[in-house]
Chains A and B, each alone.
Chain A
Amino acid sequence: MKMKDFLLEINVEELPASYVRPALDKLKSAFIERLAKERILHGDINAYGTASSLVCYIKDIQLKQEELCQEISGPPKRIAFDENNNLTPQGIGFAKNQGADVKDLKIKSTPKGEYIFIVKKIKARPAKEMLRVMIPEIIKSISFPKTMKWDDSGVRFARPIESILALIDKENIKISMGNIPSGAVKGLSASAYLKKLQKSCILDQDRRISEIENMIRLAQKKLGMDEHIDKNLLEETNFLVRLPVLMIGDFDKKFLAVPKDVLAASMSKHQRIFTLSRGGKLVNKFIAVLDGKGRDIARMRKVYGNILEARLKDSLFFYNEDMKKPLADLTPKLKDLIFQKGLGNMFEKIQRLEELSLFISEKLNIDHVKKNDIKRAAYLSKSDLVTQMVGEFPSLQGAMGMEYSLKSGEKESVAIAIKEQYFPKGLDNSLPETIEGAVLAICDRMDNIVGLLGSGIEPKGSFDPFGIRRNSQGLIQIINYKSLRMEITGIIRKAIELYKGKLKISPEESEKKVINYIKERLESLAPDTRPIELKQAVLRSGCDDIVSVFKRIDALSEISAEKYFLKAAKVCERTSNILKGAKGEKIGQVNEGLLKEDLEKEVWKAYSANSGAIKDLIKKEKYKEATRVYGEAFFETLHKFFDNVLVNAEDKDLRQNRLAMMQAINKLYANDVADLAMLPQIVV
């Protein structure tokens, strides 16, 4: 079979930086999926790009589809043939319907008996034809948070598409999509064209970002600055430039009086430039990543520096205005700020946060002083939203709260908690370090999640405009990071109660929704290296204590290949199967007087001898050891028992007593560690 390289290039007017990476991922996965479906074999497939060019490169694409032999089964043989072995009208009809000759009918025996069938060969079509159809569909399948139209063709994309070029080796494939011109190159093969693209820029986004990062690190080292990179800005910059070039600039020292976070925000949000610091303190220099060589750097440096100074002057103006009043004076103003439609104002929100923080502090046995600090932080937590600075830089919420509360004479721990309430933030994975910050962060997130889900707002796929997913993930990460042992259900219930009937959905329904959502997030947050079935099995045994969920998943993953683990799983599986078949039975406590057979007495003896130790191990969170003892204690005895004793005996009392024993054994482990019966194909 003949193979050639294939290239697709979508030229587009500058896409928003954050759209590019997901679009490239989708482009690649859509090609993989469609090529597989159309039976077109291929080698390596990669998607590269910048804000204005999305490229998919496929090595060794087959020029023709794979042939397909499709087996189509018809009626049973006894219907297709009469007793003299002649075809019946039904038999002939089947062949005719399939467009086949009666000679090609074959007989095949199946578990259901003998059937007639035919093998149809589906003709292999040229890949080029298939690609012509496939490409517009693949492009349309790339989804964006926002799309637009630009002409009367009805085609939508994130920004206008300028042209589409498709090449198999040296041959252009004409693509028809709306009024978009099909690009054409003469005499260049796909691989030569790719090389040409790579000459004018760094096309590979991963290579480009690491080059930018290296350049910045190198510059920081040379200048004797701290090695520190704003990851969010780096990722954005990667899709603002094609061929990165560094420029170091500076600004007037007097603007270092502006708080650090404001300086950093002004630089990164307004001008997309990187701050520089020495010994943790910002200096009056910056790094700009320019696009393309041969610029008038001297003049550019002047422009960048002057624009920055003008902006910082404005920031200084806001800062001085904001500091005319202590932060606490602004809190009542939150009554004028809506939290969410139907969920009241921000002042009501902080009142809920105060209450919830007290509730959680008590659950965690936090001392009196800290408890009051957290409550104070909750009271001040949103006041910075009505400052001019946060109006100008919404991303500085929290950071300004900290700055202004310190200047207003609040305690440092209160100030830090106000800042930490928003951690983790974006690509920066820092988590709250102080207990005050962690509790406030949990309160804020829980209040958001409960309010939103309780109003019937839910994330759909990747569309999560209110950040419910982000809030839940943050919540889980903080609890796990700070090892906060508490029952999440109680906190959910309290958070719902604090809304005092404002939620659209009933408290019971809301609670269910929130728990289910958190469960879902727990499943996706545990490391990918852990098998999904194991995560589900652990979650089935309760997720009220989030820290324990992670501990159990980690412990069991490490021993999942051990013989004793498989034994334990088998015990769960067999007891669970028996119980599944006993629906409607009244299963109570085990009555020792009703134990009749030696083998069942033996099982109960094993239970009595080991259950205490197992419960104790579970309590001490020695999950590996608990699993070992459980597996070893029951596997053999239970095996013999099942082989020789009928659980579902005629006698109702005997039967229910045996079921009670099965339930006791099952619950002993599955209730508190993991419902291992959920694992597929347990073979000891």
Chain B
Amino acid sequence: MKKLSFQEVVEKLNKFWSDRGCLIVEPLDTEVGAGTFHPATFFKSLGKEAWRAAYVQPSRRPCDGRYADNPLRLQHYYQYQVIIKPTVADIKKIYLDSLKALGINLKAHEVRFVEDDWESPTLGASGLGWEVWLDSLEITQFTYFQQVAGIELDVVPCEITYGLERICMFIQEKFNLFDLEWQNGVTYGDIHKRHEIEYSKYNFEEADIEMYSKMFECFEKEANRLADKNLAYPAYSFVLKASHAFNVLDARGAISQNERPRYIARVRAIAKRCADIYISGMG
């Protein structure tokens, strides 16, 4: 069997989850740290309505930049996010089927579910689940949500987050993600290497601390102002911007250990307001 390209892996996953009743939605157009921040997960996890969706989410973690020098770490990467609400009894089996659909031989290789209780302090979200290891390579985060925005969920969603680069590394047997084939001989490095180097430099050395500190304040203020007007989506978009500003300040080394929890609590507070407004408008 031909080894799947990055692009083909995404196509296969879209097909697989679409066949299982998921809407394939598009990525969010704002900088986020993970697929969970997309309203298709954050808002849709709230309330009792059933919801199934899957999507690619480009994600940014400024602290993880390594100037394209590490074969496994990036400050910008791609998650493939699946959200199934309510979760179904055989969801683990379905997940394993998705790996088979990507041509991974689960008899020859070992899939291991290793305890990892996922938590996003900025979103006030937490759940129980695992990191999924494929021959010791972490390829997926698998979580049964218990709380979002500090709200205990009555209907439990299951979130499956694939690390697309990791899965491709395994499939293509390349141990440097810049060597991955995106499609037609074009590599991941061709597309992203310069981007990684420049953004690592930006996040660690160049980002304007004063500007980001001000922006954080402005975004927080705007989120609160919009929340006062019951505008859940616009208010939430400023939560995400504030969260990213915090991440950049963090990477830049501008946040002390003492200030850190306070910043996080501030983002969480506005995220919680957005969730409350969203629920109250559900009718």
Contacts and interface: CB of A to CB of B under 8 A. Distances in A.
Interface of A: 13-18, 51, 146, 148-152, 158-160, 162, 240, 271-273, 288, 290-292, 294-296, 299-300, 302-304, 306-307, 309-311, 313-314, 317, 333, 335-338, 345, 386
A307 B163 CA distance: 15
Given A17-B115, A151-B156, 19 more contacts: A14-B115, A16-B115, A148-B144, A150-B87, A160-B144, A240-B112, A271-B136, A290-B110, A296-B108, A300-B110, A303-B135, A304-B135, A313-B69, A313-B70, A313-B71, A317-B70, A337-B258, A338-B261, A345-B258
Nearest to A273: B136
A512 to B, nearest CB: 33
A338 B110 contact: no
A337 B261 CA distance: 11
B213 interface: no
18 contacts: A14-B114, A14-B115, A15-B115, A17-B115, A149-B146, A150-B144, A151-B156, A152-B154, A240-B114, A288-B136, A294-B107, A295-B107, A300-B110, A303-B134, A313-B70, A313-B71, A337-B257, A337-B258
Contacts, number: 106
A296 B127 CA distance: 33
Chain A binding surface SS class:
mixed
B257 A148 contact: no
B277 interface: no
Contacts of A146: 117, 128
Ranked nearest first, the 4 interchain pairs of A and B with the lowest CB-CB distance are A16-B115, A306-B175, A296-B108, A336-B256
Contact of B128 (A18, A148, A290, A309): A148
B155 A317 contact: no
Nearest to B116: A16
Interface in B40-68: 66
A307 B109 contact: no
B124 interface: no
B136 A13 contact: no
A300 B134 CA distance: 9
Interface string B155-182: 1100000000000001001010000000
Given A148-B128, A152-B155, A386 B108 contact: no
What is the predominant secondary structure among interface residues of chain B facing chain A?
loop
Q: Give the bracket for the number of chain B residues in contact with chain A.
A: 35 or more
B143 to A, nearest CB: 10
Contacts of B173: 299, 302
Contacts of B92: 13
A150 B156 contact: yes
A299 B110 CA distance: 11
A310 B109 contact: no
A386 B71 contact: no
B265 interface: no
A300 B104 CA distance: 13
A311 B115 contact: no
A294 B107 CA distance: 7
A266 to B, nearest CB: 12
B202 interface: no
